[in-house]
Amino acid sequence: MPTSAHGLHITLRPVRDEDLPVFFDHLGDAKARYQAGFVPTDATDREAFGARWRRMLSDPTALACTIVCNERAAGHLLLFDLEGQRSVGYWLGREYWGRGIATRALSAFLDEVTERPLYARVVEDNRPSMGVLERNGFRRIGENRIFATARAAHVREWIYERVAP
């Protein structure tokens, strides 16, 4: 599952306890929260953050991986149920944006997770995330109007699907 290019060595591994403070710091980035749009209302509450991750990591239907870039936790990938659909989500620390890391990590993830169809949702103006999905074979199949907690406003989200393995 490792991938290397442009001096970046990217791997996926199970989430470890020591990754959680890194993920919490990533979620603390207001610009990243705004771009993602969909974050918990208590995104800056460390206790609530820990409780959410404990629930997720104990959920037998969910899968969480740490994205490791050059031996550092750079973000995470998730597989979870959302409104009856198997969905993927990902988050990278801003210092890792724009270097192809999310695209390559999702590609490696999809090589391992072969169930289909898979879905993802993206705020309509989050073009970088749309590119990550499209480069990995996801196609936009719909839209929805939803409240984005990070923006405190209703936004349009694009719904993506990946059918073929």
Q: Are the beta carbons of 73 and 66 closer than 8 angstroms?
A: yes
Beta bridge partners of 98: none
Q: What are phi and psi of 43, to 5 degrees?
A: -60, -25
- pLDDT tens for 20-30 read 999 999 999 99
pLDDT at residue 97, as a whole number: 96
Q: What is the pLDDT of residue 45?
A: 92
pLDDT band at 149 (very low <50, low <70, confident <90, very high): confident
* pLDDT band per the 50, 70, 90 thresholds, residue 159: very high
For the chain, the domains span: 3-162
Give the right CATH number for 3-162 from 3.40.630.30, 3.30.70.250, 3.90.230.10, 3.60.10.10: 3.40.630.30
Q: What average pLDDT does the segment 6-22 reach?
A: 94
What percentage of the chain has pLDDT greater than the value 70?
96
| 100-104, 141-145, 161-165, range with the lowest pLDDT | 161-165
Average pLDDT, the chain: 93
